[in-house]
Amino acid sequence: MSHATSDRSEVVYDPMVAQPEAAPALRPQASWGALLVGAVVAITVGLMLNTLGVAVGAGVVDVTARDTPSATAMGVGAAIWFAVSNIIGLFLGGMVAARLAGTTDRLDAAYHGLGAWAVAFLFAVVVMGQVGSNIAGRAADAVGSVARGAADAAGSATGAAASAVDPEQVTERVRVALSGPEDPAAMTTEQRGAEIASLVGTGMTQGGLDDARRARLVRLVSAEAGIPEDQAAQRVAAAEAEARRLAEEAERRAREAADAAATAAATSALYFFVTMLLGAGAAMLGARSGTRGLVMAHRRAPL
């Protein structure tokens, strides 16, 4: 008597066979839908927390009591809050991206978190403020300020003074000075004043007077003030020294301003880099924590 082969299969437990929790296994590949959703979650959470930070910061301002924190303290607090908010948002965004990708591989999940971080930051830079462009602009302005300060600081103060002078008045003074007699003693006060102003303006624009013009200025000052030429020469020398001091002071201030702008740009760029680096790490950690777990499956025994 023959026995028919039973088509019932025996279920055998095999601990070496595993499948994703509540989902079939997926091939290692990028899930763009998961990346976009994770990026949107990261941006939304970060924006929400930053809005809360604005509310908290505005709440500590108390003009009446005059105990409002300083601008420096407020700036540092805002920077820290911004960084922490972005880190939290990117952690949750990476977790969502890895979970929706359905992967069971932690490295693959970390890459999805990194992708969500990249999409979120690109969106933030392009649409929500263009942070990178602002930093680059500040750096370029700082470099330009250094160059301009080194080249034009000596004439910055004189240029501002010259711009306030009416060109017609300058022309009239030059005409009066040129139409007067050669001897300063024979000139009128108006003629001497016009020529003195013309010589001083020439010295300021050219960075100094040559010997002939300086001697002419000394004679004019001597005749105008009614003092000997040696005393007039001392006055002219003192005036030139004061002009050089003012020019050097203007150059020093221009260099300090340019250096402060460059330092601020460098600090902002470094802060932005560190924030991006911490955000990338947070997104990858969140993605690893959002990886689907493995559950043991059953395999049918062969017939």
pLDDT in tens, 120-146: 988 877 766 554 455 445 545 654 554
Contact in structure between 194 and 174 (CB atoms under 8 Å) = yes
**In terms of pLDDT, which residue wins out, 296 or 257?**
257
| pLDDT reported for residue 210 | 79
Q: From the centroid of its chain, how far is CA 42? A: 23
| pLDDT reported for residue 164 | 47
158-167 pLDDT per residue, tens: 454 445 445 6
Radius of gyration of the chain (CA): 38
CA atoms within 13 A on the CB side of 34: 25
Query: Residue 285: is it exposed, middle or buried by C-beta count within 10 angstroms (0-12/13-18/19+)?
Result: middle
| pLDDT reported for residue 181 | 65
| pLDDT reported for residue 224 | 79
| pLDDT reported for residue 63 | 58
| pLDDT reported for residue 92 | 93
| pLDDT reported for residue 152 | 54
| pLDDT reported for residue 2 | 45
Round to whole Å and give the CA distance between 298 and 280.
38
Given a cut of 90, whether residue 32 has pLDDT beyond it is: no
| pLDDT reported for residue 117 | 93
Q: What percent of the chain has pLDDT over 70?
A: 66
| pLDDT reported for residue 232 | 82
Residues facing 79 on adjacent strands = none
| pLDDT reported for residue 12 | 47
Nearest to 39 by CA among 139, 128, 161: 128
92-117 pLDDT per residue, tens: 999 999 888 888 888 888 888 999 99
Nearest to 105 by CA among 42, 34, 26: 26
215-228 pLDDT per residue, tens: 888 888 888 788 88
**In terms of pLDDT, which residue wins out, 33 or 185?**
33
Round to whole Å and give the CA distance between 21 and 27.
15
Residues 6 or more apart whose CB falls under 8 angstroms from that of 61 comprise 68
Residues facing 294 on adjacent strands = 20
Q: What is the mean pLDDT of residues 175-201?
A: 73
Ranges 27-31, 61-65, 266-270: which has the least confidence = 61-65
Q: Are strands 294-300 and 11-20 parallel, antiparallel or unpaired?
A: antiparallel
7-29 pLDDT per residue, tens: 444 444 444 455 555 555 545 57
**In terms of pLDDT, which residue wins out, 74 or 97?**
97
HEC string of the chain? CCCCCCCCCCEEEEEEEEEECCCCCCCCCCCHHHHHHHHHHHHHHHHHHHHHHHHHHHHCCCCCCCCCCCHHHHHHHHHHHHHHHHHHHHHHHHHHHHHHHCCCCHHHHHHHHHHHHHHHHHHHHHHCCCHHHHHHHHHHHHHHHHHHHHHHHHHHHHHHHHHCCCHHHHHHHHHHHHHCCCCHHHCCHHHHHHHHHHHHHHHHHHCCCCHHHHHHHHHHHHHHHCCCHHHHHHHHHHHHHHHHHHHHHHHHHHHHHHHHHHHHHHHHHHHHHHHHHHHHHHHHHHHHHCCCCEEEEEEECCC
Quick one: pLDDT band at residue 88, thresholds 50, 70, 90? very high
**In terms of pLDDT, which residue wins out, 175 or 101?**
101
| pLDDT reported for residue 298 | 45
- Quick one: CA dihedral 118, 123, 124, 125, positive or negative? positive
* Averaged pLDDT of the chain: 74
Q: What is the mean pLDDT of residues 181-189?
A: 76
